[in-house]
Structure 1
Amino acid sequence: MRSHTALWFHVDMDAFFAAVEQRDHPEYRGKPVIVGAKPGERGVVSTCSYEARRFGVHSAMPVSQAYRLCPDGIYVHPRMKEYSKASHEIMKIFSDFSPEVIQVSIDEAFINMTGTQGIFGPPEEAAQRLKKQVFDTSGLTITVGAATNRLVAKMASAYRKPDGLTIIPPGGEQEFISSLRISDLWGVGKKTRQKLEDLNIRDIGQIVQIPRQTLQNLLGKSGGEYMFQIVRGIDPGIYDREVKSHSISNEHTFGADCRDPQVIEDTLFTLAHGIIFRLHAEGGKSRTLVLKLRLADFSTSTIQRRSAREIITVEDCYRIALDLLKQKWDSRTPVRLIGLGFASVGSQDDFTQTELFETGEEKRSRAEQAVLELKTKYDSLNISKARTLIDSRRRKEPGKKQPPGRDQNPFGE
């Protein structure tokens, strides 16, 4: 039987919420559109058009700051039902190209295109066909990254946006990754980047030279192994990794105390999308959904429900959340804040379980050993900063705050 080289597409819908608004409102096209809270309201930017990004506006920015940067922008509240409808339409197109589509958020998916060349042609032709079909059907553009694994495909899709296409040929994974900045690496957060910067490690080429064990000593067993693989263009299973937190939650504070059921339900729908995306991205599973309400008088309460089966779809999550809302809210009292979260989140495996029982002294010893190894190998290593890094970890260790237990409220209450 003939074997096929693996081929994955990572598809990202360009500035999705803002793009839907520009599609549905022709007068918005070519203008900066900011989706989220409106000026004068409490809240943040959910997403914004590329025209707005030129002013420095970006997702998760406080809307007050966005308004200072872009006072002439068009500010609109999210219309989650419209975005969900457009997403569903586009995901349906993806399923016409492959039986294996992994939707990881409302505007993002992986498509397994392995073995489809006989039907859709080589990667570039297939990707162009996909892009055209999406645009012809929905009026929206997508960006595609193509590679032999999901990790590289995802980073390739971020390489050329919007309406872009980047194909990494088999064998070219590490060369492509090495051309990126450390900040471009998927799944590498600010704390890890700061650790590397404190050691004067500033490019991916330097990381590739660091031995596996040294990376594990420096970044922890799982973090070091993850780094060792991704800088070589190896997919460590970016959607099959251990869940590091035992709860996943998100909250929204209304710009003004809200008693409009439609607005509250739409907000709940947005929150459901967000926590389902995070659950899938972290490879987690949960049966327990928690709703949090803070009323106008600042009284705060939570209610939870344990489902008979794992909650894996936005629809299930939203349905349960609505039931909880009806139980907890009288539909008359103004709501100041609403939150939604998963409690008792479990992982698909426990491959780092032994690390949980490692003593603080052992961790410090491994970190110090890693620094000394790096200093021996690289003259450019800033050893004083490295020592400060280790000393700060030592000072923090005695009073280190422990992660919440598996049955604790995901909102930390």
Structure 2
Amino acid sequence: MLKDVSFSAVVAGFIAVLVGFTSSVAIVFQAAQGLGATPEQTTSWMWALGVGTGLTSIGLSLWYRQPVLTAWSTPGAALLAATHGMTLPVATGAFIVSAVLITIAGASGLFERLMDRVPVAIAAALLAGVLTRFGLDAALAARGDAALVATMALVFVLGRRFWPRFAVPGVLLAGIAIAGFSGRIALAGVQWGWARPQFVMPEFSLAAAIGLGLPLFLVTMASQNLPGVAAQRAAGVTAPVSPVIASTGLATLLLAPFGSFGINLAAITAAICMGPEAHPDPRRRYIAPLAAGICYLLIGLGGGAVVGLMAAFPHALVVAVAGLALLGTIAGALASALAVEKHRDAAAITFLVTLSGVTLAGIGAPFWGVMAGAVALGVQHFRTSAPPPR
């Protein structure tokens, strides 16, 4: 394994964690506090999510020798943040219900059979739609911090020209250097100390199971695992879907009493670990989620200290490095989505609906993008016969 370790893969893993963590940690804290969690219990949530995500990313990537990155459910956290009038023990019982459903969906093979019916063009368009938002955010960040973003973009272009393997690490280092010299990395609020897990005895309620557990399951599967599998397939990753999904469900189940509301496949951050920027050789890219898993473990164990460190980076730096790191993956996904002419219209619809960010019935745009593309594909090719051989 040591011969597969590379600087670019390690940095890709760190960037994936930086992007995933900083874009969702505020929602997680809001969700915990909305359910009445104490500061100690909120820190326990970060411990459970960090340890669960870290161990599953490390274990699955090592077992399959492929880049398999997990994450906590950001849409799930948003759902929890919007939940009112529920106690933490009752919500913990709903976490367990959702985890059991995810485990069954994975172990039974139902989710994998569903994904096998999604055409490559639709999957690639879904991935492009999910990721393009980050590219747009990187460009828009220039409005508030033009010097930082423009310098990082210039370093990226030069890096792609002269040292392609180190273009993204160079962007990250350049951004940190500029932010550091301008005094914009805020370390004063960091509180050092190890996290201590807090056990919450779950209380089971039929109303909570239906009102929170089932929606949490649906949101996690539709908005996280579905684009996560699409990202893997678009990148040529062949790790089996069923045992991976079942593993995330079991990890959530074991850690739910400590605050793990949902561990699932990563999609956006996984793309950072599965692209050529992580390593030119696809067989050595599994090191990136391995490094990310170690970072997530440190987040979990470090608790509030790591939260403060990760939040110390300027927002413009985070969104710029994310957009630039995903540029190659976005281009590749769009090329795959539009390559086959008979799938082009359906792929374009999938891309646009996913990019729109529309949320209906509490389910995010990735699910509706696939549904829209599938309907378009079905209408266009319903009962069409194969062309005669030439």
For the criterion TM > 0.5, the same-fold answer is no
Q: TM-score range by the shorter chain?
A: under 0.3
Judging by fraction of residues, say which structure has more helix: 2
Q: Which is bigger in relative contact order (C-alpha 8 A, separation at least 6)?
A: 2
TM-score if structure 2 supplies the norm length? Answer: 0.22
TM-score of the pair, normalised by structure 1: 0.21
Which structure has the larger Rg over C-alpha atoms? 1
